[in-house]
Chain A
Amino acid sequence: MNKINCTELGAVCISLTCTLFPLFGTSEVLKYGKNPVLLAAIIGFLIGLIPIMLIIYISKQLDDKDIFQYNKEKFKFIGKIINFLLIITVIYIGFILSWKIIDFVISNLLLKTSYYPVTIVLFSIIAFAVIKGKEVMSRSTFLLIILLLILLIFIYIFVAPNIEIDNLLPFFNTSKNNFIKTCLYFTTISSYPLVALLSLKQNDIVNKQNFKKTILIGYFITFILIFTFLFLIITNYGINFASLFSYPEYYLFKNINAFDFIQRVENVLSTTFFILSYGSICYLIFFVKTYFINLFNIKSKTKENIIIIILAIGVPIISIYTFSNYYIIFIINYYPIISSVILVMLILISFLTFITKKKKHS
């Protein structure tokens, strides 16, 4: 029985919604949001409920088929275009995600190692999990998220003594435009990757009636985690210093010094980045794989595995090639705009579904 339960689904939801924050989201929102970033987080996460409700609405239509089959069957040519645009955007997110995780390893941990061995080792594990199927992917993500939560408790306890509350002042020290930009940034970073869940058929989920509740709880946990991290970063370092860094969470881990002997644990704690990335990259690859299987009508398991390996190793290698030749910030700056294609597609699918249903009834 290749089914996943709601707890595992919740863990996958946390992984997908959290993953972009430590790798580039936090540094971007701190840069623009300044001190009111905490308020922007609340507003951003609330706006993020719109795409999430759309995802939940669409997923209710996917009892025995995935999103690509559904779009193709229901909306014919338009469906194919929607599928294509969705896949391009998800590959783009995968591109950034894989580059940032590799870049983090090379620039902070394995300074003298080439990008390629790191990529192959990291992404072979992910490819292996995707080959094993959604049950293995989800269960391993669930176990890793439990480990993540234990590590986070450790981090919160030992970072808390360095909190200086007046670092949060002045409460509003950014322009209105930047504030709005930050709110929307939160929405795009936290909610859009969740589209990868549409590659699941509802029949593959145990207690599918709890799907909505699970997703919303997962999203709420993500909000708590991100909000707490932003609060700790600002109160520990002050906004001006915190916004200097590419990986503020990693720098926050450097601040841990418990009893004068638990210190320099930032590299150990950076496993949290990998834990978060694992589930999300698995599901993004699974999403793209599902598209190609539908597109080429692949039935053979071997061919399916070859597609997974090509995607899992190929996308990060191409991302290394691309990003090490071009100016990374240039592309990352366009993330909110490019990724918003997902929102447009979600609105379109929902609208078309609604119209089709209404026609059927009449």
Chain B
Amino acid sequence: MKKITILLIIILLTSGCSYEEINKLAIISAVGIDYENDMYHVSAQVMDLQKETNDTTNESSILYEATGKTILEALTNISLKYPNTIYLGHLELLIIGKDVLDEGIDKTFDYFLRNPQARTDCLLLISTKNKAIDIINPKNENNQGTFPSKDLITTIENSQQLNGYIVKETMEEFIRTYINEGIDPVVTNIAMTKGKDIKTELTGIAAFKKNKYIKDLNKEQAIAYNTLNGNYYEIIINVPYKDNLANISIIEPSSKIKIDINNDQIKVNIDVKLDGHIIEIHSDSNFMTEKDFEIMEIEAENILNKYIENLTSFCLENDTDILGLKNNIYKYHYKEYKKYKNKNIYEIANINISSDINIFRYGNIYKEIGGNNE
């Protein structure tokens, strides 16, 4: 009994360590980082707990912002303006503004890696055209009444899975790629687009050369990048078919990049394997035969090869190695790596691309509804 009493006293006395009431915490779900006049401008999207208690149907958020010479200083300066203690344990999204990219993106991450409270598995986005604060500010006309960070996260997840134009990259994944030998990182780019309404839109994949932003990939290059990295489950490509178009869904990509070095001759073999099925045909075709499938497979393979060629040309022109060919040399031909470390590998290498698409499903109908009934 005496021991249990002592144990209870210890438990009761130690329960207050680092304790904070939840309504005194500013639970940050998204952080935007901008850089202006040698100062970091940090904007934090915070869950509005008060509003949530009154209105249970909609989640809403408020924006805290402050400036400082470092990110930590800016975050601590938030306490000068707002009563609640900032809490980064639920950080889901980090947006880097355009000015930070000129400074070098890597400096931004030190605080988040060092701080045990912050999550490094939050999604990372950059904006090459806008300030981060404009994108996450819930007071923006197009964001009103919503929770911008949650919407963005859902959009990113769906978009990568459905069209392969963007990449779902966490801060940790970005840093891992950044500090790896012979590979350059990529991240999704976001912008405010002006049409009838101002909208936040994911504009594509931004390629880096180490910590410097280079250029965005176009849609075809983005599909090629995601195919080579197995980043999606299913996306759609258009294939010419009998003077018209067919939509082929390509699923579960798997790829292999093999590099052979013989007498300073670099030979790169890129092999891609995918399954596919027919989604939509815009042609007055009859019942499909084996030959039709074969034609479609060849067309789809040619298109995918063209996309990948397009991507390697992008890497060649911009001297960035987002495919990690040099990383492959580092891993499998370590002794040769020093020779190629500072060279544009795409200039030297002889790249062979081969895709193998196996189309085996065609949906619920055998032929196009306008086709011949015979």
Q: Is B121 an interface residue (CB 8 A)?
A: yes
Measured CA separation A217–B14 after assembly (Å)? 38
B179 touches A240 (CB 8 A): yes
Contact of B17 among A110, A166, A170 (CB under 8 A): A110
Measured CA separation A117–B121 after assembly (Å)? 32
A111 touches B117 (CB 8 A): yes
Contact of B18 among A112, A169, A241, A244 (CB under 8 A): A112
Q: For B261, what are the chain A residues with a Cβ–Cβ distance below 8 Å? A: none
Q: Give the size category of A's interface with B.
A: 20 to 34
Measured CA separation A238–B182 after assembly (Å)? 13
* Residue in A closest to B116 when the chains form the complex, CB atoms: A108
A240 touches B334 (CB 8 A): no
Which of chain A's residues 229-275 have a Cβ closer than 8 Å to chain B? 237-238, 240-241, 244, 254
Contact of A241 among B17, B116, B176, B331 (CB under 8 A): B176
A238 touches B180 (CB 8 A): yes
Q: Is A107 an interface residue (CB 8 A)?
A: yes
Which of chain B's residues 184-228 have a Cβ closer than 8 Å to chain A? none
B18 touches A110 (CB 8 A): yes
Measured CA separation A172–B330 after assembly (Å)? 11
A244 touches B116 (CB 8 A): no
Query: Given the known A-B contacts A170-B330, A170-B331, are A111 and B180 also in contact in the complex, defined by CB atoms under 8 Å?
Result: no
Q: For A254, what are the chain B residues with a Cβ–Cβ distance below 8 Å? A: 120-121
A240 touches B181 (CB 8 A): yes
A255 nearest CB across to chain B (Å): 9
A113 touches B17 (CB 8 A): yes
* Residue in B closest to A241 when the chains form the complex, CB atoms: B176
Q: Is A153 an interface residue (CB 8 A)?
A: no
Measured CA separation A25–B113 after assembly (Å)? 20
Q: Is B360 an interface residue (CB 8 A)?
A: no
B254 nearest CB across to chain A (Å): 14
Q: For B181, what are the chain A residues with a Cβ–Cβ distance below 8 Å? A: 240
A172 touches B334 (CB 8 A): yes
A277 nearest CB across to chain B (Å): 18
Q: Is A356 an interface residue (CB 8 A)?
A: no
B14 touches A240 (CB 8 A): no
B215 nearest CB across to chain A (Å): 26
Measured CA separation A257–B116 after assembly (Å)? 18
Measured CA separation A242–B332 after assembly (Å)? 20
Q: Is B10 an interface residue (CB 8 A)?
A: yes
Which of chain B's residues 1-60 have a Cβ closer than 8 Å to chain A? 10, 14, 17-18
A174 nearest CB across to chain B (Å): 11
Q: For B330, what are the chain A residues with a Cβ–Cβ distance below 8 Å? A: 170
Instruction: Give a binary string over A87-111; 1 marks a CB under 8 Å from any B CB, 0 the rest.
Output: 0000000000000000000011111
Measured CA separation A214–B17 after assembly (Å)? 40
B113 touches A244 (CB 8 A): yes
Query: Given the known A-B contacts A170-B330, A170-B331, are A111 and B116 also in contact in the complex, defined by CB atoms under 8 Å?
Result: yes
Contact of A117 among B17, B120, B179, B180 (CB under 8 A): B17
Query: Given the known A-B contacts A117-B14, A241-B179, are A169 and B331 also in contact in the complex, defined by CB atoms under 8 Å?
Result: yes
Instruction: Give a binary string over B278-314; 1 marks a CB under 8 Å from any A CB, 0 the rest.
Output: 0000000000000000000000000000000000000
Q: Is A173 an interface residue (CB 8 A)?
A: yes
Q: For B331, what are the chain A residues with a Cβ–Cβ distance below 8 Å? A: 166, 169-170
Q: Is B175 an interface residue (CB 8 A)?
A: yes
Q: For A113, what are the chain B residues with a Cβ–Cβ distance below 8 Å? A: 17-18
Measured CA separation A121–B13 after assembly (Å)? 10
* Residue in B closest to A104 when the chains form the complex, CB atoms: B116
Q: For B332, what are the chain A residues with a Cβ–Cβ distance below 8 Å? A: 169-170
Q: For A237, what are the chain B residues with a Cβ–Cβ distance below 8 Å? A: 176
* Residue in A closest to B10 when the chains form the complex, CB atoms: A121
B344 nearest CB across to chain A (Å): 22
Q: For B176, what are the chain A residues with a Cβ–Cβ distance below 8 Å? A: 237-238, 240-241
Measured CA separation A7–B334 after assembly (Å)? 46
* Residue in A closest to B176 when the chains form the complex, CB atoms: A241
B340 nearest CB across to chain A (Å): 14
Q: For A172, what are the chain B residues with a Cβ–Cβ distance below 8 Å? A: 334
Measured CA separation A109–B334 after assembly (Å)? 40
Q: For A241, what are the chain B residues with a Cβ–Cβ distance below 8 Å? A: 175-176, 179-180
B104 nearest CB across to chain A (Å): 18
Which of chain A's residues 153-211 have a Cβ closer than 8 Å to chain B? 166, 169-173
B14 touches A121 (CB 8 A): yes
Q: For B113, what are the chain A residues with a Cβ–Cβ distance below 8 Å? A: 244
Measured CA separation A274–B49 after assembly (Å)? 36
B334 touches A173 (CB 8 A): yes
Instruction: Give a binary string over A109-127; 1 marks a CB under 8 Å from any B CB, 0 the rest.
Output: 1111100011001000000
A31 nearest CB across to chain B (Å): 14
Measured CA separation A173–B180 after assembly (Å)? 13
B336 nearest CB across to chain A (Å): 11
Q: For B121, what are the chain A residues with a Cβ–Cβ distance below 8 Å? A: 254
B206 nearest CB across to chain A (Å): 21
Instruction: Give a binary string over B103-117; 1 marks a CB under 8 Å from any A CB, 0 the rest.
Output: 000000000010011
B52 nearest CB across to chain A (Å): 22
* Residue in A closest to B120 when the chains form the complex, CB atoms: A254
Contact of A107 among B116, B120, B179, B180 (CB under 8 A): B116
* Residue in B closest to A171 when the chains form the complex, CB atoms: B334
Interface centre among A112, A173, A241, A244 (most CB of B within 10 A): A241
A318 nearest CB across to chain B (Å): 23
Measured CA separation A113–B332 after assembly (Å)? 48
Measured CA separation A166–B256 after assembly (Å)? 13
Instruction: Give a binary string over B321-364; 1 marks a CB under 8 Å from any A CB, 0 the rest.
Output: 00000000011101000000000000000000000000000000
Q: For B116, what are the chain A residues with a Cβ–Cβ distance below 8 Å? A: 107-108, 111
Measured CA separation A111–B85 after assembly (Å)? 14
* Residue in B closest to A247 when the chains form the complex, CB atoms: B116
Q: For B18, what are the chain A residues with a Cβ–Cβ distance below 8 Å? A: 109-113
Q: For A169, what are the chain B residues with a Cβ–Cβ distance below 8 Å? A: 331-332, 334
Known: A113-B18, A172-B334. 18 other contacts (CB 8 A): A108-B116, A111-B18, A111-B116, A111-B117, A113-B17, A117-B17, A166-B331, A169-B334, A170-B330, A170-B331, A170-B332, A170-B334, A173-B334, A237-B176, A240-B181, A241-B176, A244-B113, A244-B179
21 residue pairs of the A-B complex, CB under 8 angstroms, read A109-B18, A110-B17, A111-B18, A117-B14, A121-B14, A166-B331, A169-B332, A170-B330, A170-B334, A171-B334, A173-B334, A237-B176, A238-B176, A240-B176, A240-B179, A240-B180, A241-B175, A241-B179, A244-B179, A254-B120, A254-B121
What are the 7 A-B residue pairs with the smallest beta carbon separation, nearest first? A170-B334, A169-B331, A113-B17, A240-B179, A108-B116, A112-B18, A241-B176
